[in-house]
Structure 1
Amino acid sequence: MRPIPDGFTQTLTLMVTDEMTVDFGELGAVHPVYATYWMAKHFEEAGRKIILPFLEDGEGGIGSQVEVIHTGPALPGMTVTVTATFTGQAGRRIHASMRAVTELGDEIGHGSTTQAVLPQTRIDANFEALRARWASRGVGESNP
């Protein structure tokens, strides 16, 4: 992994859709606003954008931690920008702070992510080992 400059930032801009509102499936729709679990996904995606320009050939990244503090609502149709800022590296773990802001300028969330950078062959081998364990139980054979 090439060094990431202090304060390096990346952004992810998205429009909140009806699909991104709070709906717990079995429990049904709860609130017609941007769901915390979607914010977590977008934080992880923005955190991944931090590492991509610095990966060496043969390296891959995998999310290992997401912290989300959801502080305000966003309605379907609103634009949200997630800003990821590199905050440090500990071995192969890359840490970034996150901030989500609506087009109105309201901060609606903040938090952090951690991505682990590993050889892609190791990541792939771990997934294959898990598939083999699952298949040995007679499940998942039809899932590639």
Structure 2
Amino acid sequence: MKPGLQIGDQACITVKVTEDMFAQFNGEVVHRAYSTVSMLYHMEWASRKLILPYLEQDEEGMGAAVQLKHIAPSGEKAQLEIIATIEDMRRNYIMSQVVVNNEKGKIGEGKIKQVILPKEHIGRQLS
């Protein structure tokens, strides 16, 4: 990794809840509410934004662990802000704390662990 990434660094994404983010199984909507799966996707995306500027050309980040707590629901058109903050960095992994807020307050929180690996290594593992 390139130097510069530090504990406390933050990345943020904002999204509006859309129908494709609803809780559903096999294409059938269960609740017209922001799904836990969508929350996890957005938490990983915000965490990935933290590492992207620091990856070397031959490196890539991969998800290695997730902790997620879905605290409250959000309906269609709710505005969400997802903030990832670096809380730990060791050798080749980055741990970020992530908070998800809507207009009313916190609706989710968790941690995302990313491992930084050579692309060649990843390719060998996937072959």
Q: Relative contact order, CA 8 A, sep 6+: which one is greater?
A: 2
Residue 81, structure 1, aligned to residue 88, structure 2: no
**Count of residue correspondences:** 126
Q: Which has the larger radius of gyration?
A: 1
Residue 113, structure 1, aligned to residue 91, structure 2: no
Which aligned pairs between 1:43-82 and structure 2 lie closer than 5 A?
A: 43-82=43-82
Partners of 2:66 and 2:43 lie apart in 1 by 7
Q: CA deviation at 1:79?
A: 1.3
- Which one has a larger percent strand, Structure 1 or Structure 2? 2
Q: What amino acid is the match of 2:119?
A: Q
TM-score, normalised by the number of residues in structure 1: 0.82
Q: Residues 49-98 of structure 1, C-alpha deviation per residue, up to 9 Å, x if partnerless? A: 11111112311111111211000111111111100000011221110000
Q: CA RMSD in A?
A: 1.3
TM-score, normalised by the number of residues in structure 2: 0.92
Q: CA deviation at 1:29?
A: 2.3
Residue 24, structure 1, aligned to residue 22, structure 2: no
Unaligned runs of 5+ in 1: 130-144
